Amino acid sequence: MRIKVRRPWPAALKGSRSEVGDGRGALSLCLAASVIALLVAPATVAVAQTRAPAPLHLEGSAAPEPWTRYRGWNAARWDDYNTLARRDLTRPPGQEIEIATVTGDPKKGQELAFSRARGGGCLACHVMGTSSQETPGSFAPDLSEIGAAGRTDQWLFNYVYDARVYNPQTSMPPWGAHGFYTKGEVGDIVAFLKTLKAPATFKDALDDPQKRKQPVEDREALDPFVNPAAERIEVGAALAAKPVGNGKSCVSCHADAKAAFAGWATSMPRWEPRLNKVLGVEEFIYRHAKATLDVDWRMQSTANTDLSVYLHSLSNGREIRVDASSPEAKAAVARGKTLTETKIGQLNFACIDCHTQEHGALKWLRGQWLGEFRGQLDHFPTWRTSRGTGETWDVRKRFQWCAVQVRANELPPDAPEYGDLELYLKSLNQGLKLTAPNIRH
């Protein structure tokens, strides 16, 4: 058997990722050995490294096949734009468009700028004068006086149409070049910008993104009356004790799961040589249970998420301590960092655009506070109150959500790119205490 990387990997990274042979010859031996090893439950990392590796089902995907987007999510496809796996799709910017005078309808421009119907609207990131009709964001410069800033029509036009002609790393989406607005509509928006000449006034502190109070998440995350995901701890524990597939259950081997897995989730994800990729908790659940219990607990199934909640909860209060010391893990972390700097989707955002302080982090995206990388990986799986009646999401689903929000096709949850990303982000959360399941908007 051979594990194949399913997507072309950019040439620069190819050297670090190769196909691996089979370890199956040793697997049956490992199986017996690891059962014993897990029963004695070594608690420290040093001991864990010397024991036989846990049996894993190595074939195929750990996600539903073929992968299809979740019901209720934006169903559009963005096949012409980069994803975290295909970083060669987005067309490079063209030349600066020469335009002496922009003629447009400022009233229509204002409607376009304030409407959320097409990319989210300018107010998500910019304050735009006193006429702002809703809580504006502070992600990007206040444009309330842009009409008096002495900018040429050509500069304004190109900045809205495709700001990459001035700054290749800009966080400003290429509104015209990526098809959100026609050239005529960009002209209307520019005509509106030229009318903005007075500083904004706000009706209250809530409306002013400079004065709006930073939200604090202080709910009792582990109280099932507060967090509906908290009761999944017990559901997951019950599932672990229930005979499945071949008649065995998790506790057949892991008699004292609470002790054996205390701290385990804080060490995940980890580099897995047999899969030649970074393995997270949820993919581990599928591959290990498939190999040992003959059960199909695919990633994103209710059973998988319940077990993930349970296993994470056994590490609550412990510090995150992922192991990124091996050369392979270091390479994965480096790839993960590159992924965070990769512009994806129709909106052309990279992770760093919103989640580093040099860019949008600790600022407002309309009414939403953008957090930094550190602090994002200590609370998954998490209950998302913003999703209908609420849903429990593991971190991979959160990655997928980010992709769809920037209008990029998401990857299957077991994609090696998400593994690299998770390991890199988790390494930035080193030392933070895990609380899972948690609760977030």
Question: Which range in 33-41, 55-63, 231-239, 310-318 contacts other proteins by CB under 8 A?
Answer: 231-239
Determine the size of the site formed for other proteins (CB under 8 A): 9
Beta strands 270-272 and 382-384 are unpaired
Q: Which is nearer to other proteins, 100 or 225 (CB)?
A: 225
Q: Where are the alpha helices (DSSP H) in 126-242?
A: 153-162, 183-193, 232-240
Beta strands 391-393 and 438-440 are unpaired
N-to-C CA span, the chain: 43
Q: Which is nearer to other proteins, 180 or 383 (CB)?
A: 383
3-state class (DSSP) for residue 236: helix
Tell which one of 231, 296, 323, 328 touches other proteins (CB under 8 A): 231
Tell which one of 235, 244, 262, 291 touches other proteins (CB under 8 A): 235
Tokens of 7: 């997507």
Question: Which range in 61-69, 229-237, 313-321, 433-441 contacts other proteins by CB under 8 A?
Answer: 229-237
Burial of 100 (0-12, 13-18, 19+ CB in 10 A): exposed
DSSP code, position 148:
G
| Extended beta strands in 214-334, E state | 270-272, 277-279
Tell which one of 71, 225, 247, 386 touches other proteins (CB under 8 A): 225
Tell which one of 198, 238, 255, 362 touches other proteins (CB under 8 A): 238
| Extended beta strands in 20-161, E state | none
What backbone torsions phi and psi does residue 335 show, to the nearest 5 degrees? -65, -40
Q: Which is nearer to other proteins, 234 or 296 (CB)?
A: 234
HSE of 237 in the Cβ direction (CA atoms, 13 Å)? 12
Minimum distance of other proteins from residue 234's CB (angstroms): 8
Residue 381, preceding peptide bond in cis (omega within 30° of 0): yes
Minimum distance of other proteins from residue 231's CB (angstroms): 6
Minimum distance of other proteins from residue 216's CB (angstroms): 23
241 binds other proteins, rule: CB under 8 A: no
Question: Which range in 41-49, 221-229, 351-359, 427-435 contacts other proteins by CB under 8 A?
Answer: 221-229
Q: Which is nearer to other proteins, 246 or 302 (CB)?
A: 302
Tokens 């904004």: give the residue.
200
Question: Which range in 153-161, 225-233, 277-285, 326-334 contacts other proteins by CB under 8 A?
Answer: 225-233
386 binds other proteins, rule: CB under 8 A: no
Q: Which is nearer to other proteins, 184 or 224 (CB)?
A: 224
Amino acid at 20: V
Beta strands 368-369 and 277-279 are unpaired
Q: Which is nearer to other proteins, 236 or 419 (CB)?
A: 236
Question: Which range in 139-147, 200-208, 220-228, 339-347 contacts other proteins by CB under 8 A?
Answer: 220-228
DSSP code, position 62:
S
Minimum distance of other proteins from residue 235's CB (angstroms): 6
234 binds other proteins, rule: CB under 8 A: yes
Q: Which is nearer to other proteins, 198 or 226 (CB)?
A: 226
- Cα(137)–Cα(143) distance, integer angstroms: 11
Minimum distance of other proteins from residue 225's CB (angstroms): 5
3-state class (DSSP) for residue 298: coil
Amino acid at 82: N
Minimum distance of other proteins from residue 304's CB (angstroms): 14
Q: Which is nearer to other proteins, 125 or 303 (CB)?
A: 303
State how far the alpha carbon of 186 is from the alpha carbons of 107, 112, 118, 125, 156, in Å. Answer: 13, 9, 13, 17, 9
Minimum distance of other proteins from residue 389's CB (angstroms): 6
Minimum distance of other proteins from residue 184's CB (angstroms): 46
- Which residues, other chains included, contact 152 with Cβ-Cβ below 8 Å and sequence gap of 6+? none
142 binds other proteins, rule: CB under 8 A: no
Tell which one of 228, 245, 367, 375 touches other proteins (CB under 8 A): 228
Site for other proteins in 275-334 (CB under 8 A): 302
Q: Which is nearer to other proteins, 103 or 302 (CB)?
A: 302
Report the length, in residues, of the chain: 441
Of the candidates 386, 241, 229, 248, the residue with the CA atom closest to the CA atom of residue 302: 229
DSSP code, position 91:
P
List contacts with other proteins (CB under 8 A): 224-225, 228, 231, 234-235, 238, 302, 389
